[in-house]
Amino acid sequence: MRLLSGSIPQSLVPNPNTATGEQQTNKVVVNEQLIKMLGLGSPQEAVGKNFWWGGNTEIIGVVADFNTEPLRYGISPTLVTQNPEVYTHISIKMESGANISRLLTSIEAIWKNQFPEGMYEYQFLDSQIDSFYKTETRLYTLFRIFAGLAILISCLGLWGLVTFTSQQRTKEIGIRKVLGATVNTIFLLLSKDFLFMIIVAFAIASPVTYYFMKEWLQDFAFRIDIGWETFVKTAIFFISVGLLTMSFHTVKAAISNPVESLKEE
């Protein structure tokens, strides 16, 4: 069985005439995209109709649209037919738990016995599908690495800024505590400026990220939509990471003894 997909040539047109006795009618199974292109009506109506494809061709079955190429391409008009003269590949389904190495050795021996001059190569279906998305997989890995490094460097910088600020404002914190400021008040005092910077940075980065991600997704016929939920979750994540980074020094400064803070000053 050979799977043919892609652009349909102009010679492929509906043929209302049945095959004559001198002609051999090809029998094919087609997908829904093909009958839509030929204007043959519904799948039920298309069964039994003829069209011209290198000869008189009869539709004996219609299957739902399926992908024969990577998801960056749309579903092509596809037909399935038998033509032993052009067979070059064979598909073998292996049972779960089978001894793969032994099975491959047996298949190779049978192949060389039947086709001694033929070239023997094999490829697993899952590996072939993975090869469709090697570029995307590599990009995903690189983005994860660089995003992780960027977050780590940002957290280290934020840690240093909070440490420096809390040390510079030790006397102020002590006076505020003496005057009755709570731990929450001190924490908010030290954190609000940094939280504001995180929010501003996120507000600037979000539209830029949305634009480039949307442009990249345009290369795929099948793609997701980037909703606002994604950015809300991302904002919550970065604010949480920022608060966690700042919490050690801010809480430490907020619960410290104001007498000791004033004495150091």
Question: What tokens were used for 42?
Answer: 């519904």
> Do both 103 and 197 map to the same domain?
no
> Do both 216 and 169 map to the same domain?
yes
The pLDDT tens digits of the residues spanning 154-163 come to: 888 888 888 7
The pLDDT tens digits of the residues spanning 169-193 come to: 777 777 777 777 777 787 787 778 8
> Do both 61 and 165 map to the same domain?
no
The pLDDT tens digits of the residues spanning 23-67 come to: 567 889 999 999 998 888 888 888 988 888 878 888 999 999 888
Which pTM was predicted? 0.60
> Do both 55 and 115 map to the same domain?
no
> Do both 182 and 63 map to the same domain?
no
> Do both 109 and 223 map to the same domain?
no
> Do both 252 and 142 map to the same domain?
yes
Number of domains in the chain: 3
> Do both 113 and 188 map to the same domain?
no
Supply the range of the domain harboring residue 52: 2-87
Residue 60 backbone class (left: φ over 0; alpha: ψ -120 to 50; beta: rest): alpha
Domain stop point among 87, 116, 142? 87
258: part of which helix (H) or strand (E)?
A: helix 258-264
Write the CB contacts of 76 (distance below 8 Å, at least 6 apart in sequence). Answer: 5, 6, 7, 33, 68, 69
